[in-house]
Structure formats: structure tokens, C-alpha cells
Structure 1
Amino acid sequence: MTGPDDWDGREHPGGHGERPRIPSPRPAAEDHGPLPDAPPLPPAPFAELVGDATTGLPHGLPEPDPAPDPGTAREPDPAPPHDVDPEYESDDDPVTDDRDPRRHPPLPAPGGAPPHKVLKSLLGAWALAACSPEETAAVEEHLTDCAACAEEALRLRDAVGLLHPADSLDLDPLLRSRVLEGCLGRRPARIPVPEWATPYDAETAKLDALLRDMGEAEWRAPVRLRWFDGERPVERETTVGGVIGHLMAVDGLVATALGLPDPLGAAAPPDTPSPRRRTEAYWHTAGEETGPLAVHDPWREQSQALIRTASFAGSGAAELNVPYGKFSLALRDSFLDRAFECWVHAGDIAEAVDYPYEPPASGHLHLLVDLAARLLPVALADRRRAGLAAPPQGLVAAGTPGRTLHLEVEGNGGGHWYIALDSPAALGSPEFTVAHIALDSDEFCQLAAGHISPEETAVGQDGEREAIRDVLFATAALSRL
């Protein structure tokens, strides 16, 4: 036996020309006494090879696990999947190998359908229409063969229908008005619009939104204008451009009263014309086939100028006189009259192009109904002078009550009004009521616009029949071109 210093450098079975590793000491099976010529302990550089005397392991290595209980069989550690780094085996670690069969279902064979499990996992995306065209075709083909998946697909599709109701893609025509109202509610305008001008402001904005949503071809759509001329309904057909030209021509009466330019210019009749004569003059000059660029922007600029001028004019401008030919209105009532006509003709346009349109807001509608109710005594007196209504039953001094009709308008914008029957200067009083009529606010406005005749009006009535008939016809006579 050779010692560490006796190595002769020859090949050793345990190495290739290297110094042989000294094995750890092992206890002998039997004690035969000390070995002869026992070699000394290795020097310090080889101490780590000898190990600890108590454990028999090299220095610096951990002790092995304790021996398992003989009665408990130890399961072998599961082998990691092929080519998978054990460092990323944790489910919490998002980094995984794409070839891990436990995380990715097997791909279908070329030209074959995906497996049932994959197609079933796509049912939710299919119900939401979120699948690719290839996935959609595969799922729908699978549904024809698998009853369970077909039933699940129907349930998912019904659930999606509840989550996403079918809505019209057309914008709400009142959206712009609501946005403006919300903005002004949070931050009032520096120059507030007078209350009597707000219906005109809102209705022109609604009509502007309708016109901007229309195509150029729709501007040539035929529109029927209807009104009641004394004893019978009258119709006139024009185009969308012709209607806007009509509104701009009549609004010009208010513009000239406020010192703004007349939109008709040199084509305006020299005398103080009626709204109908101004409209005919505009149609003769510009033609009824007016396109959007020629009439839309000028009308909108004029309406905004009217609102801006009335707002800066102050409260004293409310009583400014605006002539309408045979009659005149105060500026505040003239703005309400123009708001009413703008709403009525916007409804005519919307009907012609099959577009939804809503009535004015409740507060604005009440102001428009109130104007019509206040104009009824004058309209009734005009019909009497023309021989179209029964004469008054007696002379009534100005400022005193006379025979009265109770007008009840129901619904949005409604209320109660007492109409003097014998004289425009008389006062309506509940104590002198001889008749009572009740009708819906929308029907009352349609009657005042001349869109329905007095005979067609569904009205609840009680009292003097002749007074009721005269008031209904006077309401229809408020309409005009």
C-alpha cells in the first residue's frame, strides 16, 4: 500500500493521470487491530476530501435527509416534463414553455376540426361575436353535431341579448339640446337668454341638428305645408330647402324690427307684407329647390343673431312691436310665435324624411300654448268681422268680465285658460263661464298649426255649442303659411 508521497504518476483506475482520490474512511467489519505502516493524515489542502469524522461527508455539504420510516413507502419525485425547465414549473410563474401539453391543448391535425374541448371553450367568444372567421365556422359546424354545445350556445346568445339590447344607431335629435342645457346649468351664460326667447333657441338648435344629419338628396324631398284658411284646410307642397327658406323669410320680420339685415334684401316687398307674401317673394327669387349650402347656413346664422341681439337688448326690448302685415306682436310674443312655427315645420320635414322628432320641453310647450290661448279672443273677433262666427251677445266694457269659455289643455305644457268670448278687451272669468272644452296639448297644438280640422278634433265639451264651435275654428285660424 502506498502513501500520498509514494505516487509514481502512473495511470490509476479511478482517473487519467491524476492523483487518486482518497476515499472516506469506513469502519471495518471486524477489528483486526492497527494496520501496519498506517499512512499519516493528509495535509490541510486535502482536508475537504477527507470530510467530517462524524458524518463521513466532505466539509461544506449538507447532511442527507434522514432515512425514511421503513413502514412508509416513499413516492418517487415526479419527473419534469420533457424539455421543460423545472425553474418555471410553478403555476404562479407566467413564464411557461409553449410545448407543455398540460397548458396547451393539442393542435388539430392539418385539415381536421379542433377537438370538442377547444370548441366548447370558444362558445362564449362566439356568442359575443368575438371569434375569428375560421373559429366561427368551426364552432357553427360543431353545433350542428353536438346537442350539448348547441344548447349551451343558445343560453349564451340569450344572455348576450340581455346585456346588449338592440338600439338605434341614429342620434337622439334632443341630444344637442340636453347637452346645451346641462352645460348652461353648470355654467350660466354671461349674457343669459331671456325666458321668452329660450323656446326659439331650443327649437332652432333641434332643427339645425336634424338638417346636419340629412344627406344632400334629402333636401329635395317633397314636404307638405298645411294650414287652415278661414273655412277649409289648405296644402302647399315644397322641398326641405323651400321650408327653410320660408322660415328665414318670416324670421326676417323679427330681424328688421331689431335692426338686423333683411334676408330678402332687394327682393323684399316695399310695403309691410304678410308672412305669406314674403315667402312667395323668396321662393320666386331663390327658387324652392334651394340646396343646403345656399339656405341652411344663412338661416342658422340669422337665428343665432336674433337670439344674441335679443339677449343684449335688455328687458325693455320685450315689448318692441313686430309688424306682421294685418296684425303685430310684441317681440316676446313674436319669438314664441317663431318657435312654434319652427317646431311645426321641423315636424313636417322629419315626417318627409322619416326621421324621429320630439315636441318641445314641457316648460317651453306651456309658453307656446299660452300664446295661442291669449291670441284666441283677437282671432275670434277677426272671424266675427269676416262673418265666420256668431256675433257677441252684448257689449262688454274694456277690462270687465264677459262670457267666458274654460279651455283646459291636458298633458305636457297644459293648464287652464279662460277665454273672453264677446270682446278682445274683456276679461275671462270663471264666474261667467258658459262653456268648457278639454283636449290634449299635442292635439291643441296640431289644431293651432292647421294640421287637423276643428271637426276632426277629439275634444271633451260642455256648455254652449255655438261658443265651443267658434273657439275651435278660431284656434285653427291661428295657422298660416
Structure 2
Amino acid sequence: MSGAGHEDGDWEKHEGYGPRGPDDGAGDSDGDGKGPEPGTAGRAGDGSPRIPLPRSSVEDTGLPLPAPEPPAPAAPLVPLVLEHDVLRSLLGAWALAACAPEETLAVEEHLGECGACADEARRLREAVELLQRPEPLDLDPTLRTRVLESCLDRRPPRIPVPEWAAPYDAETARLDALLQDFGDSEWHAPVRLRWFEDDEQTTRRTTVAGVIAHLLSVDGLVAVALGLDDPVTGGQGTPVAPNPASRTEAYWRASYFPPTRSVRVPWREQSHGIVRHVSFAVGSTSRAGEAERGGGSGKLPISYGDFELPLRDAMLDRAFECWVHAGDIADAVDYPYEPPAPRHLHGMIDLAARMLPEALAARRLAGLAAPNRTTRHLVPAGEPGRSLRLEIEGSGGGEWLISLDSPAALASSAHEVAHVALDGVEFCQLAAGHVSPEEAAAGQDGDREAIRDVLFAAASLSRM
């Protein structure tokens, strides 16, 4: 391979190539042995260019590095001489720090001489500060409530939204605002729904549009009870499936899963319709009208298949799920999402705490929660029994006594056997199935078995 394609001696004919001995004039362009003339280094004997020799670094010589040359002094700025109108036209750019250095100096010297321009410059700087606020652009979740309260204090509504429907109204509005600017890529972003089933976390993969379809389907249980159309079947009457999971699966199948962004319109219209109906409570042929006429008590039963909730609690439940799934959507698109207003969060926590005794009883019947306790501590209905104190800290918190032995027993501080303290948002995440009972950072004191039963009962409240 070393001489292929060349005749004998051809290497000597190529520029800068071929073997050279110590006396063949290497580096000497004229062959006199004196070395190259200045400006001729790296050239062959015929003056043609050769491959340059590698440069050596000063670090290789062992000599100290030369001191860096000091930078040349900057030339002093000389302010431009500009007319008043030109300087006034530069005030906007000056307020935004977009002027050249000479222009900035000219404007600032002019501001010391012209009071009118100085006032205008101050106003522009204040406006720029408002445009460049360091706070996040997301609105405080309590802002909507405060604005509505301020407006309603001045002019009470003719048909007010019931207090127990306000959390649902607020959370659906917040989620709708989050969806406002979503593009196709965000609507198809993957979302994983999470909940607990048989003491194990279960997940289901869907998209942002699929989550909104899920909310539309389950909110339909309330809508049908109020006399609105069933979003799963598109008509009125008995829901096609009373179970939330089966309703969601039915809607997904009918919409050629995964759904698209078009699901936002029917979800939004249905949520508005629910709020309007519970506010007006009209229609003598409507079950809602019969139940709500004369006081808006919210006692209309809403069936979830395996259990029922009165309308006022069902509205809290739907607000809670709307917030939880809005957080799932926000996580999927990497966007921050704040908890509900403290008053609304308190109502959601209160609903979960009131559902815990029934959840404990169901787990005992299923053999999942200390079955021996049922017979050992069975108490008659209305009698005080063993209780656990649930302390929820932070925004929307409070204290609840949870009956441990029977849903019909009275919770009593005199029979308190355990105490659990949890942050409000973390308790809601536990009840939503997003945090496992083992991972819940709970302050615990007392009967460990009772504490475990309550934490697992809270996780069992979750569903798809």
C-alpha cells in the first residue's frame, strides 16, 4: 500500500513529501544550509507552498507566560446634540433601555433641563414597570371570588348561585381558563389518570381531551338528575350507565377515542347549564324543581351507581374532581396550577371527612380493614364510639372527629383513640388517589391500626 500508484522516485517529485536526510537542505529554500530566508519558511525549494510546521505553545518552553496587555481605555461618551422634538421622541426607547449610550446620555442631560419631558419620562418608566412585573401571570384562585363578592355587595343578584354550588362554578371556570389557549399539541398531550382500587394504585392513560370527556361524562350524572341531556347518549332520561368509569368508557368509545379539542364546547355548556339550573331551580316537571323549590336545600339524590350523594354534596364532589383533573392537565403541559380558594377547599375536605365512616364500613365488609374490630367494638346507632381526630392544617383546614366502629355511631372526643395531622392539599391528593397512604406525610399519635384504616379509607374514596 505504501507506494501504490507511483513510479520509483515519484515521492521526490511531490511537493513537501518524500524522505529527506539530515543534509538534504530541509527548511533551506536555496540549498545553502543557512535556513530559509525570512518569509519563505514552509516552502519547497522551487518556492511552492508546503504543509506548515506545527506551532509550539509558550507553555512548552517552560518560560513564564507574558502579562496580558491592559485593555485600551474607553473613549469618553460625548452627548449628542439633538433637537427637543427628537429627544422627546426618544423618551419611549429610553424608558425601555433601548437607546444607544450616546442617546441615553443626551436624553438624561435633557431631562435635567426640561420639566415637561422629565414628567413624561417618569410616567413612561412607571408604565414599563407595570409591563415587567416579576410576579407570575397566573391569577390568584381567590381573585374571582373576591371580585364577585365585591360586585354582589354593591348589587345583589336577582338569582344568586347557591353557596354549595359556588366551588363547582369556580373550578370549572378556572379549568376553562386553563384550556383557553391550548393548541392541538396540548389537547393531545398524554395524561395518566390515577386512583386506588383494592388498596393498589390503578392508572389509565388518556389525553387532555380525554380528561375533559371524562369530566363531561361524570358531570352528566348531575345534569340528567336536573333534567338536562345526557352527554353520553345525547338525550334525556335515565343515564346510560350510572357508574362513572363505565360512563367514561362509553363516551370514549362513542367519540372514537381519543377525543379532540371539540369536547371543550359541550363540557363548558353542560357546566354552565348545571350552574344555571341549580340557581334557578325551576320546572315543576323536573325532579330538581320539586326538590329545590322554596329554599334550594340541595337534597336531590344523585346516583353514582354504588352510592348516592345529595345534590349539594355531588356539586362539591364534581368541583373536587374538576380541580384534581385540572392539576393532572396542568402537569401534562408543565404549567403551574394553584389549589382552590380556602373556603371552597374547606368544603371539599369536609365532604371527604364526612364520607370516611361509610368508607371504613365498606372496607370492613370487604375484609380490607381490621374485621375483628367490627364485633369487638360494635356500638348501637346514636351512641358514642371510638373516634379518630383528623386535623387538617393549612389553607381550608380544620378538625373532624371520625367514627371508627360504625357510621351510625357518634364520634366523641371522650372516646378519641388516635390523632392524625395532614396538610390540606396533601389530604385531598390522598383522597384523589394521587398519594398512597404509606407516602402520606401524616403526623400520627395513638392507635396505629385505626390510623392505617383511616388513611386507606381516604385513598379508597378515589375513583376514575
Asked if TM exceeds 0.5, the reply is yes
> What is the match of residue 395 of structure 2?
412
1:348 shift after superposition: 0.6
SS in 2 for 1:432: strand
1:227 and 2:195 are equivalent in the alignment: yes
Change (3 A) 1:201 1:221: same
Q: Distance in 2 between matches of 1:295 and 1:181?
A: 31
1:240 and 2:208 are equivalent in the alignment: yes
SS in 1 for 2:336: coil
CA displacement, residues 392-445 of structure 1 (integer Å, 9 cap, x when unaligned): 332211111111001000111111100000011111110100100111101101
1:290 shift after superposition: 2.1
> What is the match of residue 171 of structure 2?
203
CA displacement, residues 121-156 of structure 1 (integer Å, 9 cap, x when unaligned): 97987652365xxx52755899xxxxxxxxxxxxx9
Alignment length (residue pairs): 352
Larger radius of gyration: 1
Change (3 A) 1:136 1:361: same
Q: Which amino acid aligns with 1:456?
A: E
1:128 and 2:128 are equivalent in the alignment: no
Within the candidate set 167, 177, 180, 2:134 is matched to 167
Within the candidate set 240, 246, 250, 1:281 is matched to 250
> What is the match of residue 360 of structure 2?
380
Q: Which amino acid aligns with 1:349?
A: I
1:223 shift after superposition: 1.1
Change (3 A) 1:169 1:476: closer
- Check the 8 A contact 2:78/2:102 in 1, yes or no: no
1:70-219 → structure 2 map (5 Å cutoff):
115-116=78-79, 118=81, 127-129=94-96, 136=100, 139=103, 163=129, 166-167=133-134, 170-172=137-139, 174=141, 176=144, 178-219=146-187
Q: Distance in 1 between matches of 2:342 and 2:148?
A: 17
Q: TM-score, normalised by structure 2?
A: 0.69
CA displacement, residues 50-108 of structure 1 (integer Å, 9 cap, x when unaligned): xxxxxxxxxxxxxxxxxxxxxxxxxxxxxxxxxxxxxxxxxxxxxxxxxxxxxxxxxxx
1:414-429 → structure 2 map (5 Å cutoff):
414-429=397-412
- Check the 8 A contact 2:164/2:316 in 1, yes or no: yes
> What is the match of residue 462 of structure 1?
445
Change (3 A) 1:299 1:450: same
Within the candidate set 312, 315, 324, 1:335 is matched to 315
CA displacement, residues 143-184 of structure 1 (integer Å, 9 cap, x when unaligned): xxxxxxxxxxxxx9xxx7995654367452745555444433
- Check the 8 A contact 2:420/2:443 in 1, yes or no: yes
Q: Which amino acid aligns with 2:95?
A: L
- Check the 8 A contact 1:245/1:299 in 2, yes or no: yes
Q: Distance in 1 between matches of 2:222 and 2:158?
A: 24
Q: Distance in 2 between matches of 1:215 and 1:254?
A: 30
Change (3 A) 1:188 1:353: farther
Q: Which amino acid aligns with 1:172?
A: L
Q: Distance in 2 between matches of 1:296 and 1:440?
A: 32
1:396 and 2:379 are equivalent in the alignment: yes
Change (3 A) 1:437 1:423: same
> What is the match of residue 250 of structure 1?
218
Q: Distance in 1 between matches of 2:260 and 2:153?
A: 36
SS in 2 for 1:430: strand
Q: Distance in 2 between matches of 1:166 and 1:296?
A: 32
Change (3 A) 1:177 1:195: closer
Q: Which amino acid aligns with 1:361?
A: A
Q: Distance in 2 between matches of 1:181 and 1:300?
A: 23
Q: Distance in 2 between matches of 1:188 and 1:199?
A: 19
Change (3 A) 1:402 1:291: same
Ranges in structure 1 where 5+ consecutive residues have no aligned partner: 1-112, 143-155
SS in 1 for 2:402: strand
Change (3 A) 1:204 1:421: same
Within the candidate set 319, 330, 333, 2:299 is matched to 319
CA displacement, residues 333-372 of structure 1 (integer Å, 9 cap, x when unaligned): 1001000000000111111112221111111111110000
Change (3 A) 1:125 1:342: closer
Ranges in structure 2 where 5+ consecutive residues have no aligned partner: 1-75, 107-120, 282-291
SS in 2 for 1:402: strand
CA displacement, residues 214-244 of structure 1 (integer Å, 9 cap, x when unaligned): 2232111111211111211111111111001
Q: Distance in 1 between matches of 2:232 and 2:248?
A: 9
Change (3 A) 1:272 1:130: closer
Q: Distance in 2 between matches of 1:182 and 1:321?
A: 33
- Check the 8 A contact 1:173/1:356 in 2, yes or no: no
Q: Which amino acid aligns with 1:290?
A: P
CA displacement, residues 2-23 of structure 1 (integer Å, 9 cap, x when unaligned): xxxxxxxxxxxxxxxxxxxxxx
Within the candidate set 337, 343, 353, 2:333 is matched to 353
Q: Distance in 2 between matches of 1:126 and 1:266?
A: 58
- Check the 8 A contact 1:409/1:438 in 2, yes or no: yes
1:297 shift after superposition: 1.2
- Check the 8 A contact 1:404/1:428 in 2, yes or no: yes
1:311 shift after superposition: 1.4
- Check the 8 A contact 1:243/1:345 in 2, yes or no: yes
Change (3 A) 1:246 1:167: same
